[in-house]
Amino acid sequence: MSVKRFSDIFRSFLGVTIFSCVLGGILLFSTAGACPDCAGGKTAAIVVDMQGDFSTWKKGSLAVNGADEAFFEKVGKAVADLSKDGFLIFATQDWHPADHISFYTQHKGKKPFELIDIEDRKQMLWPPHCVQGTENARILVDNNIFLASVKKGKDRKYDSYSGFQDDGGAETEMNKILKRNMVSKVVVFGLATDYCVKATALDALERGYKVIVVEDLSKGVAPGTTTAALKEMKDKGVVVMKELDIKKINAE
């Protein structure tokens, strides 16, 4: 009788142990691929739209003040340093069809930098820029350093400042690729602070990433919107760093 009871207790002990192990294993597995919320994920840099058309260097059609050759060199060096330190490096690339809806030339009687209503959203009208396959649509930072570059704004009907999704709500591959690489923290910089850097940083935040923006590795289209963008990002929880400080990034 007492021997039978002992074996019953032993058997249930074994059952609980096996159950716990299996449950633990399942939990471990399910968190491994979803790292934005788990500690110890990797850090990535997202280098935003470092393309000829946004540069004064290449006399781009939508040249951003201060985006000269020295700025591109500085960003290139920062990216090389981050890569050496083990950060995963990604890029975004503005990549529009020639008849893209954001081009003022597609709207009769409209001028560049006019704000118009399209359906239920505001659309800023731009000079034609970053047209697919043109010289000035190229990324001018060493392409070999990127684990992936994500093209955006490919759909003529929607603009896409964010590297994560366009104005129609269509997701790019960015979030999937970051998750696949177990990234939990992103450092965002490039062109332009008040449009694509801001939109990419805020969408990263919304998807659960820790987000750092490096101010001196970014340039804005206009001073007023750039100041406002930096404030909005800070208010929403982005860490805005004046310059690249890898130690500080690792401590965040």
Q: Using CB under 6 A as the criterion, which residues of the chain lie in contact with ligand VGL when the complex forms?
A: 49, 54, 94, 126, 161, 191-192, 195-196
Query: Which residue of the set 152, 179, 198, 210 is catalytic?
Result: 152
Place of tokens 């750092």: 212
> Minimum distance between the CB of residue 61 and ligand VGL, rounded to whole angstroms?
10
Instruction: Pick one of Zn ion, ligand VGL, none as the site partner of residue 49 (Cβ within 5 to 8 A by kind).
Output: ligand VGL
Q: How far apart are CA 31 and CA 28, in angstroms?
A: 6
> Minimum distance between the CB of residue 175 and ligand VGL, rounded to whole angstroms?
19
Q: How far apart are CA 125 and CA 111, in angstroms?
A: 7
Instruction: Pick one of ligand VGL, Zn ion, none as the site partner of residue 209 (Cβ within 5 to 8 A by kind).
Output: none
Amino acid, single-letter form, for residue 194:
D
Instruction: Pick one of Zn ion, ligand VGL, none as the site partner of residue 192 (Cβ within 5 to 8 A by kind).
Output: ligand VGL
In terms of CB distance, is 95 or 209 closer to ligand VGL? 95
Q: What is the dihedral of CA 77, 79, 80, 85, to 10 degrees?
A: 130
Which residues of this chain interact with Zn ion, rule CB under 5 A? 94
Q: How many CB atoms lie within 10 A of CB 62?
A: 23
> Minimum distance between the CB of residue 100 and ligand VGL, rounded to whole angstroms?
9
Q: Which helix (H) or strand (E) holds 148?
A: strand 148-152
Q: Which one, of 233, 196, 243, lies nearest residue 48 by Cα?
A: 196
152 flagged as catalytic: yes
List residues with catalytic annotation. Answer: 49, 152, 196
